[in-house]
A and B are shown apart, each in its own frame.
Chain A
């Protein structure tokens, strides 16, 4: 039984810790944040803020930056040695060096393949019904394209124009991941994916014209189980639902595609889509990347681009578009520009003046860690694994125990944890499918589920950490570095030590409680 006086002491300490103020003890207050270093993003963002009379928050500290950039770029927590190394590093350009390093990590491919599989609806079952073999092939292709930094125009072109077997030409699964394999639905999905447009907001003629471009997508099965061939079917035809007459293929800008009977209209569409002068294509993707890294699109929502939903900062968006096209659709160039900006590196902590601002990027936007990233982080800290299998549909999918959740290929393979924490069902491809809101059910799970308790209590990794650290102050520091990716402040260390030294609690139990508490802080649960 714990002596209550000890708890009394830690509660008294609460006040001391609270009084300590912002994360500011680090490097973040050394320069005015609104300086731009000539970075064009910062000029445009801070210029807008100035116009609005909103002061940006301070720059974030090195420790905050490290954790943030790991989570945002590779969906993974930094290991304790990464934290120590980065904090000890004295070189002035260490942030940008780290950005370069992370963009080349394997987890970068895992994490961004996951995001793309959300958009492309990669799952075995309803409504896509890609089935397990094709899911694995498709995921592998997407991941490889990201790992190799395939230029984005080629990525889109391959998805849009390929023909062949769903097992052997994985790109064709793009056309299979639709509920009904009909021209109009395909057109809707294409517009959503690559133009960030919801065709419901278009007039009927434009929408039907775009469907006309996909009238010649053919599907056929083979003798092999669950194999499906996607091909160019010259005989394919779409009747306009209102006129009953054959629908001509019309590009979204209103020009009729000049095609002979032997031409695959998908190619004409792809040519139009990825042309450097086409505003839709680059705008959609740079806006998505901005959203992914900063939590809100310059146009928001990112898949609802239309004239009456204008960009919050048109110059910024236009500049990013130009950068992408100018660098031959190298997406990593855009990541680099954004990640190196002071805008990205602002503190999440609001000031009384900018607390209301949710749209102008005056501070970093906190978001709860996504389902997969959160469980991976907990697994990494505790050295435990999750088990994923799927017995339906056949063939059964068995997944190695050390598989990370961000690397799961199949949206149909899930767990109660992933469901509770809002993993997207991959039904529609809408960005809003990923639900990072918090709920009492999630809090129950983290605070008190056997799932999480077991991971912490039976963790050999934490056991070794406690043993190696030896003395209580070292345990506190090691747990802070491992879980929150930073050192404790003096006040926090005092509170933690007071708890660990309370009577009736052995060293291990105390350390386990501390690990549990740190995992349940908002600092852990949120990107910040």
Chain B
């Protein structure tokens, strides 16, 4: 369909109206790509501030969000000497391809990729409630005050997406598969910066990406319906020239570009070699990792894999025997594949949840071998994008209860990632009421800091 722009208006009217709109909405508003395109915010980040940080190493982030909080002891911070009440059945950590680094015995494939990993064993914020801990780990801000801050994904979609002239046909911030809801708030940045959640299951064929791929409706029927819709959109035609109606028309054209055009092909995993798909594991998580690589390859700057099932209060160990191999296969394949495609150097892989889990196992009923929430110390792993692999940062104490040395707070990690992405952590965010708000908190916000992760950058 051709792009028909206000053909019924005469030139003079258009000019006058355009001038009016520019006055009202800002000249930039007319140019910006309209993905999730909603409220335009005042421009941010003065140029001189941006010059203060080194040239970007990373172009994109793949966040593996371990929803619910994975046990640090059973993954990247094993404590074999703490006794069965701490280790449970996982008391034999394994060596990795880096001398001196051991990880949990359920992650043998990741052990072979340890040279790519920076394992932070001293993450801390001390919060044990999901909602607050998620907010803090995803935004780098403590709650309080009237502002709700944007998540890292929203900030990256602003700074590396819309503000950086992102022209991709798919949105710059994508969540696979289920939206994180309140945990991925765009905060005061607003609707435009919320992620596009794919929905569906990437391990199914076809992968029914919400809104893009609809099983049961053939392309021909889509076309027929589209024509019917246009024929019946009588009100829309009479309203042509109205700013909001014209915007809705433009949005519809973009949407059909995704449905019927080429933009949606990025989600078609059947274009990949079946052997590679096998390597990722024929599970939803593995195929989500593969999709993340495809998206990053096409320039999407932020992908979250919303990986559920880690809030294991009860029957923790049987759950881990199921989940950890799935994680191991998918994530190790992702690291290898990113590396094979030459993408690892420019892509940060960020693995972690909102907190760890209690080191001491609750053997009694109703837990029957469960682990609770533990925010005092937990592990997070980063790889690629300028982070040095084969490293361990910080340490927890003998039983994994407290930080022993080199505390890393969520904002320390987030500021480090921003720096690698070429986003000034001390720069400002556009605020709808014009408040001066920095990307990451500083001493004036009264937060403790362990400093950015200089040792691995």
B45 near A: Cβ within 8 Å?
no
B321: interface (CB < 8 Å): no
How far is B216's CA from A129's CA once the two chains are assembled, in angstroms? 43
List of B residues within 8 angstroms of A444 by Cβ? 210-212, 255, 258-259
Count residues on chain B whose CB falls below 8 Å from chain A CBs. 78
Residues A440 and B244 in contact in the complex (CB < 8 Å), given A11-B227, A492-B234 = no
Q: How far is the CB of A416 from chain B (nearest CB, A)?
A: 5
Q: Does A327 belong to the interface (CB within 8 Å)?
A: no
Say whether, besides A355-B241, A449-B210, A521-B236, A438 and B228 are in contact (CB < 8 Å). Answer: no
Given contacts A11-B227, A348-B239, are A453 and B214 in contact (CB under 8 A)? yes
A498-524: which have CB < 8 Å to B?
A: 499, 502, 513-514, 516-518, 520-523
Q: Is the Cβ of A125 less than 8 Å from the Cβ of B182?
A: yes
Does A53 have its Cβ within 8 Å of any Cβ on chain B? no
Q: In the bound complex, do residue A2 and residue B432 qualify as a contact, i.e. CB atoms below 8 Å apart?
A: no
Question: Is B38 close to A, CB under 8 A?
Answer: yes
B146 and A440 within 8 A (CB): no
| B196 within 8 A of partner (CB) | yes
Query: Are B225 and A450 in contact (CB-based, < 8 A)?
Result: no
User: Contact: B247 with A437, CB < 8 Å?
Assistant: yes
A-facing residues in B264-278 (Cβ within 8 Å): none
Residues of chain B in range 54-85 having any CB-CB distance to chain A below 8 Å:
none
Which residues of chain B are near A21, meaning CB under 8 Å?
238
Known: A7-B224, A180-B145. A440 touches B258 (CB 8 A): yes
Check if B242 is an interface residue, CB within 8 A of chain A.
Answer: yes
Question: Is B325 engaged at the interface, CB distance under 8 Å to the other chain?
Answer: no
Does A127 lie within 8 Å of B148, measured CB to CB? yes
> Does A96 reach chain B (CB closer than 8 Å)?
no
CA distance A348 to B17 in the complex (A): 18
> Contact at A368–B244, with CB atoms within 8 Å?
yes
CB pair A440 B148 closer than 8 Å: no
The B352-366 residues at the A interface (CB cut-off 8 A) are none
Q: Which of A1, A18, A355 contacts B234 (CB 8 A)?
A: A18
| CB-based contact B146/A127 at 8 Å | yes
Does A393 sit within 8 A of B, measured CB to CB? yes
> In whole angstroms, how far apart are the Cα atoms of A517 and B228 in the complex?
7
B231–A17 contact, CB under 8 A? yes
Task: Please give, as numbers and ranges, the residues of chain B lying within 8 Å of A457 by CB-CB distance.
Answer: 216
- Tell me if B211 and A445 are in contact (CB < 8 A): yes
> Which residues 185-210 of B sit at the A interface, judged by CB distance below 8 A?
185, 187-188, 190-192, 194, 196-197, 199-200, 208, 210
User: A392: which of B131, B145, B222, B259 is its contact (CB, 8 Å)?
Assistant: B131
Asked if B130 is an interface residue, CB under 8 A from chain A, the answer is: yes
Complex Cα gap A180–B245 (Å): 41
Residue contact A496 to B217, C-beta cutoff 8 Å = no
Contact yes or no, B129 A439, CB < 8 A:
no
Residue B280 is within 8 A (CB to CB) of chain A in the complex: no
B337 to chain A, nearest CB (A): 28
The answer to whether residues A11 and B235 also contact, given A350-B242, A437-B38 and a CB cut-off of 8 A, is: no
Stretch with Cβ within 8 A of B (4 or more), from A134-142, A210-218, A423-431: A423-431
B251, CB-defined interface residue at 8 Å: yes
Option from B37, B192, B232, B244 in Cβ contact (under 8 Å) with A496: B232
The docked-state distance in angstroms from the alpha carbon of A179 to that of B141 is 14
Q: Mark A1-33, 1 if CB is under 8 A from B, else 0.
A: 110000100110110011011110000000000
Whether B220 is near chain A, meaning CB under 8 Å from some CB there, is yes
A441 close to chain B: CB less than 8 A: yes
A447 within 8 A of B: yes
The answer on a CB contact under 8 Å between B231 and A447 is: no
Closest 8 CB pairs of A and B: A444-B211, A523-B235, A443-B255, A522-B236, A440-B254, A179-B146, A517-B229, A179-B145
Residues of chain A having any CB pair with chain B under 8 Å: 1-2, 7, 10-11, 13-14, 17-18, 20-23, 125-127, 129, 178-180, 185, 188-189, 198, 200, 348-350, 352, 355-356, 358, 366-368, 392-393, 412, 414, 416, 419-420, 422, 425, 427-428, 430, 432, 435, 437-445, 447-451, 453, 457, 489, 491-492, 495-496, 499, 502, 513-514, 516-518, 520-523, 525-526, 528
* Chain B residues within 8 Å of A, Cβ to Cβ: 13, 16-17, 20, 34-39, 129-132, 135, 143-148, 171, 179, 181-182, 185, 187-188, 190-192, 194, 196-197, 199-200, 208, 210-212, 214-217, 220-222, 224-225, 227-239, 241-245, 247-248, 251-252, 254-256, 258-259, 432-433
What are 19 A-B interface contacts by the 8 Å CB criterion?
Answer: A1-B220, A14-B231, A17-B231, A126-B148, A179-B143, A349-B238, A350-B242, A356-B13, A356-B20, A422-B38, A437-B244, A438-B247, A440-B255, A448-B222, A496-B232, A517-B225, A517-B232, A522-B248, A523-B236
